[in-house]
Amino acid sequence: MMQTTLRRSAVGLAAILLIAGCRPDGDSSPQGLTGDTVGVAMPSAIALRVQPRMQDAETGRDPQLVHTTIGDSVRLEVIVQVGDQINAFQPPILTTDNGRRLVLRGSAITADSAYFTTPVTLTVERTALPIRGRLVTSYCRAGEKLCRSATQDVVID
């Protein structure tokens, strides 16, 4: 009974990992599975550990925050590479060192509500400066179906 339950759990976990395309080395092919003693495909133990965020091999691909002074305000805008899209379900959030959460948004989204179709911006008063914190942006690269997160330290004086 216990062995059957464990086998079903193992098969279910292996199927989920295959569907998600998980491998410990970051490759999305399902070749990272190994057989166990009962012949059930099982992910290696390392695949079950939480993996740290790996640095992007292509520098400059992550979204960048730019700021522009306009009169008494500062306009913050997240810029992505051509073809990349910013996730509208998890808009970019700038968490300041003093705990404020500034959410950047676009004025329009795709028909499925998944991505912003206009620039993702936020305008703050210059009296709110300096701003120091960390920006987290969820975005999808062109041709990819799974969004990734990028973080950026922010200092605006």
pLDDT value at position 50?
35
pLDDT category at 49 given cuts 50, 70, 90 is very low
pLDDT of residue 157: 86
- pLDDT of residue 15 exceeding 50: no
**Would you state the pLDDT for residue 145?**
83
Query: Encoding tokens for residue 70?
Result: 């306009």
- The CA angle 70-119-89, to the nearest 5 degrees, is 130
Domains in the chain (CATH in brackets) are 2-48 (no CATH), 64-156 (2.60.40)
Q: Could you give the CA distance from residue 4 to residue 6 in angstroms, rounded to a whole number?
A: 5
Task: Out of 19-23, 89-93, 144-148, give the one with best mean pLDDT.
Answer: 89-93
